[in-house]
Amino acid sequence: MGEKRVWGCALVAALVTLVAAGSPARASEPLHLTAPTGPHRVGATDLYVKDTSRSDPWVPSQNYRELMVTVWYPTDARRGTATEYLSAEESRLMVTGKGLEGVPPEIFSTVRTYALAGAPPAGRARSLPLVVLSPGYTQPRATLTALAEDLASHGYVVAGVDHTYENHAITFPDGRIAGCVACEQDSERPFFGKLYQSRAADVSFVIDRLTGRHPAWRGSRLIDATRIGMSGHSAGGASAIAAMVRDPRIDAGINMDGTTDTGGASMIPPAGFPRPFLWFGAPHHAPTPEGQDPWWDRDHAAMTGWKRWMTVAGTVHASTSDLALFADQLGIDIGATTSGERAVEIMRRYNLAMFDQHLRHHPQPLLDAPSSRYPEVVFA
C-alpha cells in the first residue's frame, strides 16, 4: 500500500476493517457530530463555481475548473432542516471507491449535523473573517464539518472546498457526479506537488468568488476580505502553505497533520515565509529522530514569521477530521488513545485560537504555552 493511501485513506481504511468485525448494533445507529460551542446558530449553503481561466488539472480536455463549496455562517434562524452530510449516492460511491467491505453504503448520508440548510445569514456588513477549509486527499469537504460548524458558531464565515476529481463523489447542481480521476495518477510522490498547487489555485478562485465584485453567495456582504485564514487536514493542510505562498490575501494558516513532501523542492520560497502558521499534528510529527515526516522540520525552519508546532498525544492521522468521531460511535479502534470527541474538541479549540489571534487580533495565551486544560497538546 503506497504513501497516497497512508495520507489519504488511513482513517476510512480503519473504518472498514473494524466495522466489518464490530458491533452491528452500534453501527446501525445514526452517526452524529458534536454540537458547536459558540454563541451563534449556524446556517449552511452549497455553491457551484466555475473558473474559466484555466483547464482542469486532472482532465486537461476540460478547459475550465468547476468546484463545489459549502459555506457555513452565523444565522438568527431558529428552525429549519439540518444540512445533509453526504447524499446516499455520494456515500455509496465513497464506500465503494474506498473498497469498504462491510460498511453500509448509505452510512455517511445518515450523519446528524447542526447547521440549518439555506438559513439566512446574519451579521453586520464586512464584519466576519473568512476561513477556507481543504479536506484530505480522497476525502469530501464534508469530513471537516465539525470544525466548520464550530467556527461559524463563533462568528466566522467558513468555506469548505471540494477539489473536483480528487475524491470519489462530488455532485453538481445538474446531477452530474465527478469521481476520483486523480486516483488514477497518484502513484508517484511528485503527484502531490501538483495536487498542492492545484488546490492553491482552487482556494484563490473561491476567495475571488466570495469577496469579488459579483460574489457567488448572497451573504458575501458579511465577509471582511482583509481577514482571511485557511486550515486543512492532510493534503488540505499541506495545501494551506501552497495557497498562502500563492495568495497574499490569506493572513494565517494551519496544517493539520499533512505531510509537505512534494517529491521535490519545498513550497516555501528561499526568502522565507512571514505570515503566521500553525503546525498541528499527531505524535508521529514530533521533531524527534523517530519522527516520520522530515519535511515538517525543513519547512517549519524555512518559515520566518509567527509559527508554532504542536502535537497531540494519543492521536493518529485521522484524529483531525470528523471520521475519528464516527470511528468511536461505531466502536472502532483506529489506534488512538485520545477519543475522537476529545480530539475534535482540541482541534476546534486550537483552530479557533489561531484565527481569533491572527484574524481578530485577540491575544490567545493558549498558543504560547502548554495548557492544563489540554495536557495532550505538546509544544515542539
**pLDDT tier at 267, thresholds 50, 70, 90:** very high
Average pLDDT (183-204) is 94
Q: Which residues touch 174 (CB under 8 Å, ≥6 apart)?
A: none
CA 207 vs CA 171, 219, 222: distances in Å: 21, 14, 14
244, three cell numbers: 498562502
Are 156 and 130 in contact, with CB atoms under 8 Å apart?
yes
Percent of the chain exceeding pLDDT 70 equals: 91
- Of 97, 312, 127, 306, the closest CA to residue 221 belongs to 127
32: nearest Cα among 139, 132, 117, 113: 113
Mean pLDDT across the stretch 135-143?
97
In this predicted structure, what is the pLDDT of residue 28? 54
DSSP classification of residue 118 = T
pLDDT in tens, 332-378: 889 999 999 999 999 999 999 999 999 999 999 999 999 999 999 99
Contacts (Cβ under 8 Å, ≥6 apart) of 37: 150, 153, 154, 348
Give the model's pLDDT for residue 20: 40
pLDDT given at position 289 = 62
Supply φ then ψ for residue 226, to 5 degrees.
Answer: -90, 0
Query: 160-190: per-residue pLDDT in tens?
Result: 999 999 999 999 999 999 999 999 999 887 8
Contact 323, 31 (CB under 8 A): no
The alpha-helical segments, DSSP class H, found in 134-280 are 145-153, 191-211, 235-246
249 touches 207 (CB < 8 A):
yes
Starting at the edge strand that comes first in sequence, how are the strands of the sheet with 307-312 ordered?
116-117, 41-51, 65-75, 157-162, 128-134, 223-233, 252-256, 277-281, 307-312, 377-379
Sign of CA pseudo-dihedral 336, 339, 344, 349: negative
- pLDDT tens column, 85-97: 999 999 999 989 8
Spatial distance between the Cα atoms of 11 and 126, rounded to a whole number of angstroms: 38
Q: Residue 76 — very low, low, confident or very high, per pLDDT cuts 50/70/90?
A: very high
- Residue 228, H or E segment: strand 223-233
- Average pLDDT of the segment spanning 194-214: 97
Asked if 105 and 96 count as a contact pair (C-beta separation under 8 A), the reply is yes
Res. 379: pLDDT tops 60:
yes
Domains annotated for the chain, with CATH where assigned, are 3-379 (3.40.50.1820)
- What are the phi and psi torsion angles at 15 (to 5°)? -60, -50
Q: What is the grid cell recorded at 224?
A: 471582511
Q: Which of 202, 299, 314, 307 is nearest to 258 (CA)?
A: 299
**Percent of all residues in the chain with a pLDDT value above 90, rounded to a whole number:** 83
CB neighbour burial string for 126-149, b if at least 16 within 10 angstroms, e if fewer: eebbbbbbbbbbbbbbbbbbbbbb
* pLDDT(4) > 60: no
This prediction has a pTM of 0.93
